Structure 1
């Protein structure tokens, strides 16, 4: 151990104290040994350090910081150098605010378009997500602090996220849901990793020895710190045994006592605790080094310009019928849509950033060479029908050469803690599109949202520019793309299905009760659409440019592919060349193609470059569940170079010797997986893939409610009082939605309805402890007065103990 001498001077109580927070955002310190506390701050796309009242929901404003585009946006750049640069800027701002650990990037897979937190995640593809995450981490940590890749792992829904049990087979787990984290750990060298709330195959992730010990510490040789998601600790001792060093936020010493008792009883060896403390001290001491130097404030204008550059490179042009874009000089434009005046530029929840400044379209419009005929809101932001606004918009549209229509999803629709209800654009916006198209067919829509939506209305517009959630400078970046000052080069990092029913996880999302089953296996996103021949609106990797590109001269060698790329247009531009590899096999099922490399190439008009993409350790591997290791199937592999997953420009082949491992599969027993048509896998076939019985997915309603049951399950409480309390919660939620307070209504669902009973103790900073939760559970389980007395008695005990320690 590196810090054995310091650890030897600690009491058992001091060691235990370091394993949980001092307050909501800070770790514990030990002054007598020179151990300082760390500040951990939300920050996937900007620093959210709260100076006053702390919360995890984005309720209270934070210190102003640059709001960069979200991960879902930057992933569309397909540019690792850009990700690293953003990381450097984030790191500089974190240092200026004295943050030790920046809680990001979010690296979970976009298994389903309705996951409410997709705006925080990079992609449906683990290779792209991992490469972008690693680039962020390198940039952040170059400034002396720590990044914190999250949420490890299979955290792909927000509903019941703190208790849901994710049922997934080992091969899918390894190839799809762990690969991005593997790249983040090995190539990004992240110093901190955040465990997810959910269970994985019956065990909470931060207690899961297979995940935390065998894979993370063993196979990946991870030497850093694991921190729980806020309130995400179930059994603190089990977590510590698995190597989860830090629990956040504070429990005011309650779980420290659990650790002390476990050491004294022999349940856990003190040496195990010491190893965890050693890793914690390494994080504390290394991230404190930068604060021995003089800290400097960041340049607000310089960082704003970086946010604009990042947005410009990440915007995706999806439609350009009749070359309506770029806008003609002096064109008369009508600006319509609430998002033009009040931009939708980031998500909601724990990642909310208080921007240093904020561009909007109306203010920036004067900077481009067009004539504005006016602005009309067109629709009410939160979906309420308003015919008057539509009529006003149509009058304005009739005066213009081109309509710039700003549409998208609102903040209450895409939010942490809640999943979306559908993939649709609000109906009042669809009505507006249809009405305007009757008076002016030259419509360019600017779309702002953090994940995929259905687009049945796309036939009514000629141009579509997807800004995603493009940060505080996004409005100006979009205008520069629209007028041609910037040539769009973004490519979609996720597929856009035509309708939600086409999504492979449609029948198994979200898990509503005990578990969620990943029956589609590895067939998520383009892996499914391409293999099952399901048409999509826009494929993975798709994006238009004002330039045109020509691919040629493919050469496939043992360690790489090379090819030429030429800009055949008359403007400079960038193309994302994508390497896909596929293999036809009767032995190992797999998607028909998988992304295994990419390069973003900037070219002047007429310029040609030779592009080289190396094969790596992930190019040909698959995880064999019989050998429990990565193997390579022998035979011929198809090598494809494309401008999207569906637009293959060049193809070749390579013969590989393979590792000659025995196949773990009986093809006849797994027809859906061998065909790729895995959207409706029955229970028997999924059990064959799992290698075990599917656990019961329904609540056992005969049992009493316990620590890991949620407030929403009060519907099954034995106490009439508890059931009535749930009705009040539901009434409040419905009433707030009806009167337009959707954000407040969402907080009820996020922080109350889906909260497990243990979360009441874990998330209240010591105001409630687990013995008090015991009293609450007695009350809801039919022993109201006994439970109420117990709750009051335990509260009195807690207060006395607090007074004695003052």
Structure 2
């Protein structure tokens, strides 16, 4: 241990105290031994440090910071070097604001387009996500602070995220959902990992010995600190045994007492506690030294300018019929759409950043040589139909030569804690587009959303630019693309299906009661669409440019591939080249091809560059569930150099020697997987894939409600009080939504409706404790007066103990 002498001076109580937060964002300190606290802050795309009135859901304003484009946006840049620079900028701002640990990046897979938090995640591909996330981490930690990669692991839905049990087979877990985290540990050398809320195959992730000990610690060699998601601790002692050092936020000493009691009862080896304290002290000492020595003022204007550059690199040109873009300076342009005046530039929830400045299209366009004839909002951003607004917009469009139509999703549609109801753009926006088309067919849509949406209007427009959620400087960045000041170079990091029903997880998302089953196995995103030959609107890796590129001269060695890339157009531009590897096999089921390398290349007109993409540890491996290790199948592998997963430019074949002849699967039983026919997998096949019985997916309606049940389940409560609370909550949500208080309505769903009862103790900073939760459960399980009596009794006791602590009596 690095800090053995210091730990030997600590009492058991002091060591246990360090394992829980002091308040919402700080860790505990030990003044007598000179152990300082550290500050943790949200920060996937900007620092969200709350100076006062701290909360986890982004309700209260934080200290101003640069709001960079979200991870879903930056993913479209496919630029590893850019990701590292973003991390450096985030790290500098964290140091300036005295933040030790930045809670990001988030890198869960985009298993389903409706996941409400997809705007915080990079990709549907683990290799892509792992490379970009590792770059972020290296950049952040180069400034001396700690990054915290999250949410570990398989946290791919927001509904019931704090109690849902994710049922996934070992190979899919390893290849799809853990590979990115593995890269973050091995290539990013991340200092902290945040455990997710959900269960994994029966046990909460932060208590899951296989995930936390076998894989994270032993296999990957992670020696940093694991932090719970806020309120994500179920059994504190079991979490500590699994290697989850820090519980956040404070539990007001309640879980500290649990740890002390477990050590004294010999249920917890004190050596495990010492090991956890040692890791935490390493984090505290190293990051506090940085805050003392490396602090310097941040140039907010330079950071804003860099945020603009990031947005430019990430904007995706999806359609450019008749070369309607870039806009000609003499064209009469009408700007229509509420988002042009009130931009949608970031997600909602714990990642909300208070920007240092915020550009809008209407303000920024004044600095461009465009003949703008007017602006109309055209629609209500929250979906309510307004014929008067639509009429004015159509009248303006009729006078224009080109219409810039700003469409997208609103803030309450994509939010932490909630999943989207569908993949649709609001109907009032589609109606506006249809009405404009009747008077003017020269339409360029500028789209804002944090994840994939259905695009039924593609044939009705000549231009389509997707900005995703492009941060505080995104408006000007978009205008730079529209006017040709910058050549678009982004490409999609997720597939865009034609309709939601085409997605492989359509029948499996979200898990509604006790479990969510990953029956589609590894066939998510392009792995499914390409293998099953399902048409998509836009494929993974797709994006246009104002120039063109040609590929030639492919060469293959045992070390990697190389080829020539030429800019065959008239303007300089960047191309994102992609390496996919696939093989036909009777031994294991596979996707047709998988991304195994990529580069972003800048070329002047007529310039040619020789591009090298090396193979690495991830190129040919698969996880063999029979040998329980990574293997390479002896096979002839097809190597594809591509402009997208559906646009292969060059191919070659490479014969690779294998590492084992052990066959992991019975092909007859797993026929749906060998044929990628995974949209309706029967129980027999999924059970064979899992290698064990599938757990019952429904709640036990007759059982009394417990700590890990939710208010949503009170519809089945034995007590009238529980059922009444459920119906009142449903009514309150409905009324708030109806009167336009949608943020508040969402908050109720996030923080009350789907919150496990234990969360009321874990997330209230000690205002409610577990004995009070016991009383609440008594009341809703049919013992109302006994339960409420216990609540009031424990509440009184809690206040008395607080007064005694304040007076120094305990």
TM-score bracket for the superposition, by shorter chain length: over 0.9
Do the aligned partners of 1:337 and 1:378 also contact (CA within 8 Å) in 2?
Answer: yes
Do the aligned partners of 1:631 and 1:661 also contact (CA within 8 Å) in 2?
Answer: no
Per-residue deviation at 1:706? 0.1
**Alpha-carbon distance in structure 2 between the residues aligned to 1:83 and 1:790:** 53
SS in 2 for 1:398: helix
**Alpha-carbon distance in structure 2 between the residues aligned to 1:439 and 1:805:** 73
Do the aligned partners of 1:169 and 1:521 also contact (CA within 8 Å) in 2?
Answer: yes
Residues 1:737 and 2:734 aligned together: no
Q: Please list, as runs of the form range in 1=range in 2, the aligned pairs for 1:35-114 lying within 5 A after superposition.
A: 35-114=35-114
**Alpha-carbon distance in structure 2 between the residues aligned to 1:412 and 1:461:** 27
SS in 2 for 1:68: coil
**Alpha-carbon distance in structure 2 between the residues aligned to 1:147 and 1:635:** 39
SS in 1 for 2:425: coil
Matched with 2:305 is 305
**Alpha-carbon distance in structure 2 between the residues aligned to 1:232 and 1:52:** 22
How many residues are paired up? 806
**Alpha-carbon distance in structure 2 between the residues aligned to 1:68 and 1:346:** 9
**Alpha-carbon distance in structure 1 between the residues aligned to 2:459 and 2:300:** 41
Q: Please list, as runs of the form range in 1=range in 2, the aligned pairs for 1:748-767 lying within 5 A after superposition.
A: 748-767=748-767
Matched with 2:625 is 625
Q: Please list, as runs of the form range in 1=range in 2, the aligned pairs for 1:533-544 lying within 5 A after superposition.
A: 533-544=533-544
> For 1:246-303, what per-residue CA distance to the aligned partner results, in whole angstroms no more than 9, with x for missing partners?
0000001000000000000111110010000000000000001112226222101000
Matched with 1:377 is 377
Residues 1:445 and 2:441 aligned together: no
Residues 1:348 and 2:357 aligned together: no
Matched with 2:470 is 470
> For 1:297-345, what per-residue CA distance to the aligned partner results, in whole angstroms no more than 9, with x for missing partners?
2101000001000000000000001110000122110000000000000
Matched with 1:271 is 271
Matched with 2:405 is 405
**Structure 2 portions without partners, runs of 5+:** none
Matched with 1:13 is 13
Per-residue deviation at 1:582? 0.2
> For 1:545-571, what per-residue CA distance to the aligned partner results, in whole angstroms no more than 9, with x for missing partners?
001000000001001100000000110
Residues 1:702 and 2:702 aligned together: yes
Matched with 1:156 is 156
Matched with 1:325 is 325
Matched with 1:24 is 24
Matched with 1:518 is 518
Matched with 1:228 is 228
Do the aligned partners of 1:627 and 1:661 also contact (CA within 8 Å) in 2?
Answer: no
SS in 1 for 2:54: coil
**Alpha-carbon distance in structure 2 between the residues aligned to 1:183 and 1:413:** 31
Residues 1:315 and 2:315 aligned together: yes
Matched with 2:654 is 654
**Alpha-carbon distance in structure 2 between the residues aligned to 1:461 and 1:606:** 31
**Alpha-carbon distance in structure 2 between the residues aligned to 1:200 and 1:725:** 30
Per-residue deviation at 1:740? 1.3
SS in 1 for 2:507: helix
Matched with 1:562 is 562
Per-residue deviation at 1:635? 1.6
Matched with 1:396 is 396
> For 1:677-698, what per-residue CA distance to the aligned partner results, in whole angstroms no more than 9, with x for missing partners?
2111111110010001110000
> For 1:326-368, what per-residue CA distance to the aligned partner results, in whole angstroms no more than 9, with x for missing partners?
0012211000000000000000000000000000000111222
Matched with 1:583 is 583
**Alpha-carbon distance in structure 2 between the residues aligned to 1:422 and 1:351:** 22
**Alpha-carbon distance in structure 2 between the residues aligned to 1:779 and 1:279:** 42
**Alpha-carbon distance in structure 1 between the residues aligned to 2:191 and 2:711:** 35
Per-residue deviation at 1:457? 1.3
SS in 2 for 1:613: strand
RMSD over equivalenced CA pairs, Å: 0.6
**Alpha-carbon distance in structure 2 between the residues aligned to 1:601 and 1:297:** 33
Residue 266 to residue 661, structure 1, CA distance change in 2 (3 Å) = farther
Residue 294 to residue 323, structure 1, CA distance change in 2 (3 Å) = closer
Per-residue deviation at 1:660? 2.1
Do the aligned partners of 2:634 and 2:658 also contact (CA within 8 Å) in 1?
Answer: yes
> For 1:102-144, what per-residue CA distance to the aligned partner results, in whole angstroms no more than 9, with x for missing partners?
0000010000000000000000000000000000000000000
**Alpha-carbon distance in structure 2 between the residues aligned to 1:334 and 1:117:** 33
Matched with 1:488 is 488
**Alpha-carbon distance in structure 2 between the residues aligned to 1:696 and 1:711:** 21
Per-residue deviation at 1:41? 0.0
**Alpha-carbon distance in structure 1 between the residues aligned to 2:683 and 2:430:** 39
SS in 2 for 1:506: coil
Residues 1:386 and 2:366 aligned together: no
Matched with 2:295 is 295
**Alpha-carbon distance in structure 1 between the residues aligned to 2:36 and 2:616:** 41
**Alpha-carbon distance in structure 1 between the residues aligned to 2:430 and 2:172:** 38
SS in 1 for 2:611: strand
Residues 1:792 and 2:762 aligned together: no
**Alpha-carbon distance in structure 1 between the residues aligned to 2:214 and 2:195:** 15
Matched with 1:508 is 508
**Alpha-carbon distance in structure 2 between the residues aligned to 1:606 and 1:735:** 62
Per-residue deviation at 1:431? 0.2
**Alpha-carbon distance in structure 1 between the residues aligned to 2:624 and 2:175:** 10
**Alpha-carbon distance in structure 2 between the residues aligned to 1:581 and 1:631:** 16
**Alpha-carbon distance in structure 2 between the residues aligned to 1:293 and 1:732:** 51
Output the TM-score relative to the length of structure 2.
Answer: 0.99
Residue 294 to residue 206, structure 1, CA distance change in 2 (3 Å) = closer
Matched with 1:250 is 250
Per-residue deviation at 1:422? 0.2
Per-residue deviation at 1:661? 3.3
Do the aligned partners of 1:531 and 1:677 also contact (CA within 8 Å) in 2?
Answer: no
**Alpha-carbon distance in structure 2 between the residues aligned to 1:194 and 1:315:** 30
Do the aligned partners of 1:154 and 1:200 also contact (CA within 8 Å) in 2?
Answer: yes
**Alpha-carbon distance in structure 2 between the residues aligned to 1:665 and 1:182:** 25
**Alpha-carbon distance in structure 2 between the residues aligned to 1:373 and 1:673:** 56
Matched with 2:679 is 679
Output the TM-score relative to the length of structure 1.
Answer: 1.00
**Alpha-carbon distance in structure 1 between the residues aligned to 2:145 and 2:721:** 49
Do the aligned partners of 2:437 and 2:460 also contact (CA within 8 Å) in 1?
Answer: yes
Residues 1:640 and 2:640 aligned together: yes
**Alpha-carbon distance in structure 2 between the residues aligned to 1:294 and 1:687:** 54
Residues 1:769 and 2:772 aligned together: no
**Alpha-carbon distance in structure 2 between the residues aligned to 1:680 and 1:788:** 47
> For 1:198-244, what per-residue CA distance to the aligned partner results, in whole angstroms no more than 9, with x for missing partners?
00000000000000000000100000000000000000000000000
SS in 1 for 2:457: helix
**Alpha-carbon distance in structure 1 between the residues aligned to 2:145 and 2:34:** 19
Do the aligned partners of 2:62 and 2:353 also contact (CA within 8 Å) in 1?
Answer: yes
Residue 272 to residue 335, structure 1, CA distance change in 2 (3 Å) = same
Matched with 1:358 is 358
> For 1:636-659, what per-residue CA distance to the aligned partner results, in whole angstroms no more than 9, with x for missing partners?
000000000000000001001111
| Over 3 Å off, 4+ runs | none
**Alpha-carbon distance in structure 2 between the residues aligned to 1:423 and 1:299:** 39
Matched with 2:146 is 146
SS in 2 for 1:418: coil
Per-residue deviation at 1:792? 1.4
Residue 493 to residue 294, structure 1, CA distance change in 2 (3 Å) = closer
Matched with 2:118 is 118
